[in-house]
Structures are given as structure tokens and as C-alpha cells.
A and B are shown apart, each in its own frame.
Chain A
């Protein structure tokens, strides 16, 4: 079994089996973190270019650590000091990177579909690290991996994604992935933050977290993008926090073993209270750790493979 793709562009394009393969592969990678030497020689000689057109701390660092722990070389392209500021197009930047013989390009871009464009243009493996409001597949995978690790299953779990669904690539990747693995997915947000296409995505839509919290196994809380507040998509942050914010009071009605997740960065006191973020129900820091394992698994599985058959025994 291998990934039948050159690139990882989104969970929408992966089969259930492929998602399961990535999750299964991530597990032994996580074991590496407990060793004194956290590095293996698997991708020695490979080059991973990190091309981030948007700011990022955890995703970029996570990919960089994942690549380095597999012994790949990494190159960070800082867009603010690159030829992009001189007007170079995305495709030309990608072609330049290809000419430098990179094996992987990890790209984050504010434009949905950016990763798809360069995946069609160059031969290196492209990993989508977030494209506009479209997908963030490795975040989706690490969220699913974390749930699986804590709950031992995905099928049949009631999982709510709460917050700005409209602008969230994390939400879309989660919905695609969780649906394929058989979870019951709920989205909870103000009506103005629910995209029209949500009704085709096999999810239950709700407008008040309090009404469904009792039946949830997992709440994945999304960041309220304050930078989008100029669009006035809901009246005030206080009102949002009152109806959609997850705090200890609301959790009184929740299952005792409910998991609290957040892809970060958090707005404490808005979408999540500090006591919930730091509680034992929260797996937010574990999501960060698991992110490295999942990204190592993705890099490993996408590594170029060609040539003859080899048996694992007799060697």
C-alpha cells in the first residue's frame, strides 16, 4: 500500500484507505520523539522547500522539524525578502524551485487552489500547508490522529467543529477526513459564518453550542479571525463568546471524557476560556506534537519511489 499521489493537496482527494495509511504510519513516527536521537536517515539527500506566503509559526516549524527528523535538508523562503516582492508569479517561483531540484515544496498561500496550480506545474511533491479558505490537509490529519489516539476510533463519534467555518480551511479538511472515517460531524457557528456549500458536505449545522454539547465526544474549536471583523459577520466578540465560546460552564453539560481541540493560535476568552484551554480535557498541545509525526508520515509516504520490487525479508 502506498499513497497513489505525487502530492498531498487535500483530504477531499484521498481515499479512506489512504487516510488510514497516513494515520497508521504516523504512529511509529511519534515513538521516535521519546528517543535520545530523534532523527532517522530515511530522507537523507532530499530537499524540502518551505514556501509560506502567509505568516505561520506552528505549521512551518512543524514541517521543518518533520523534514529534519527524517534527515532531509530544508530551505525556508521568506516571501518578504524574495523575488515575489519584485512581482514574480507563483508559477515562476515554483519553476525556479524546481530548477534547484527540490524534492518537496510545502506551500501556504492565501489563494485557494495555489497548491494545485504548482502541483500541475512542477515535478516535486507538493504539500498543501493551507490554501486560502480551501484545505489544510495535514492539520486535518493531525486532528484525526489525535482523536484516534485518545478515543481509539473515529467511526460513530460525535465531533463538532465550532467557529468560523466560512473562512476555515481546517474545518473543510476536518469535515472531509472525518466523514470518510465515519464520524458524525457537526458544525456550529453564526449563520453568517456557515458557507453555502456546507449543506452538501454531510454535516449537521447548528447555531448554538449549548444545544448539542451533551452529545459531543469532541469539540474542535476554531479561531475567530479578528482580522475579518471589519466585515461585521457577527455583532460583537462578547456575543460570539456568549453563544459559541467554550467555557467551563458549558462543559458542565458535556460528557466527562469530551476532548477539547484547537488548531491554534487561540484567542483566549473569546472562542475558548483559559481554564478550558488548560484543562485535562484539552489536547491542544498534543495536537502540536502529533503534527510533527503526521507530517513525517506524509513526507515519508510521498517520497519518490520507483524501481524494482524488494521483499522485506531476505535482506
Chain B
């Protein structure tokens, strides 16, 4: 059980930078997709959903196309249920479209070890057989433990294992900001 406090070290992205980055990501996704009409976005709980929602809005603005959006909670597919001190709350998975034949754009806020993405791919495959699954993340902080690489990256920001990247989004955190935190002294 961690008793260490997290100390904020620096702001990595401001509200404007997040907006600009997501716009660029939306353009990249459109440009590099052979068949935009077959794209479906799936956001990973929790903040991946809001990033996916924003990308959906941007894609609509740029192309006029409304792409389907799904929500994925990977808790039940985690490989560490037996090695964590608190049982993660199981949240909603809601994919109301048929994934078979779709170009799935998996969206998350931070990519680190790759374990979440591994779990997410496993879960998506239980819904059907997508044509492709690609990965878009706002921040790639390195430190991969699995051979997983993102296809679309907002910002690459290598960190040490002591550090943590926190993505705050207006939808749930009242502000748009990405900050780097570090484990500091013992909590009282």
C-alpha cells in the first residue's frame, strides 16, 4: 500500500495545448485512415472516454461524419487483480455498434506499461472481429512492459517510474491540464 504523497513537478500541457493537440490528432486520424466511414472510436474508462468524445466532435467538424463511440472498462480483463491492494471499481463497458469489420480507434489519456491496452484489445475482440485496431493517446510516457506502441500520439514525454502523469479534463476535473507528479515524502 502506497503511503507516499504525490507532489506536482510541472505542467506538461495547458488547456490550449490540449485543444491544439487533439485537433492535430483528429486530422492525423482522418488523413491516415483509408476509410473514415468505417472508423469507430472506443475510449477507455475514465478519461479516454472524454478524449474520444472530443475527437469524435472534431472528426465531425472536419469531415461532417458522425463516427460511433464506445466506452470500454478493462477492469475485468486486467492481469493484476491479485496483486493490487484495492479492488478496482468495475465501470461501464458500452459498445452499442458491431465492431466486426470496423477500424477501431482505441483512445486513452496516458500510455505507460501497455497492460491496459493489452486488456482493452482482449475485451474488444470478445465483442467481434474488427478489421483493425489502432491506438491514439494524448501522452506517451514510455516505460512499456508489453510490445505495444501507439499509432497516434499527442505528446511524447518520457518519465521515471517514480513519476506519474495526471491528465485533468474539464468533463470530470473542472480544468484541462496535464501535470507531472512525483512520489514525495510520507503522507501524515
Within 8 Å CB of A300, what residues of B? 76, 87, 90
B53 at the interface (CB under 8 A from A): no
Say whether, besides A2-B86, A315-B113, A309 and B1 are in contact (CB < 8 Å): yes
Residues of B within 8 A of A24 (CB): 89
Tally B residues with Cβ within 8 Å of A: 40
Is B64 an interface residue when CB atoms closer than 8 A count as contact?
Answer: no
Q: How close is B79's CB to chain A, nearest CB, in angstroms? A: 8
* Bound-state Cα–Cα, A198 to B76, Å: 40
Contact, CB under 8 Å: B89 / A306: no
Contacts A31-B92, A42-B81 given; indicate if A1 touches B166 (C-beta within 8 A). Answer: no
Determine if B83 and A307 form an interchain contact, defined as CB atoms under 8 angstroms apart. Answer: yes
B35 within 8 A of A: no
A87 at the interface (CB under 8 A from B): no
Nearest-Cβ distance from residue B89 to partner chain A, whole angstroms: 7
Q: Closest residue of chain B to A3, judged by CB?
A: B87
- A315 proximity list for chain B (CB < 8 A): 112-113, 115-116
Q: Quick one: given A28-B93, A31-B94, A41-B76, are A308 and B126 in contact (CB under 8 Å)?
A: no
- Determine if A312 is an interface residue (Cβ-Cβ < 8 Å): yes
A312 touches B128 (CB 8 A): no
Chain B residues within 8 Å of A307, by CB: 82-85
Interface segment among A32-40, A111-119, A182-190, A204-212: the answer is A32-40
Most A CB within 10 A of own CB, among B73, B78, B87, B91: B87
B84 CB contact (under 8 Å) in A28, A70, A310: A310
> Which residues of A pack against B, CB within 8 Å?
1-3, 24-25, 27-29, 31-32, 35-37, 39-43, 70, 297, 300-301, 303-315
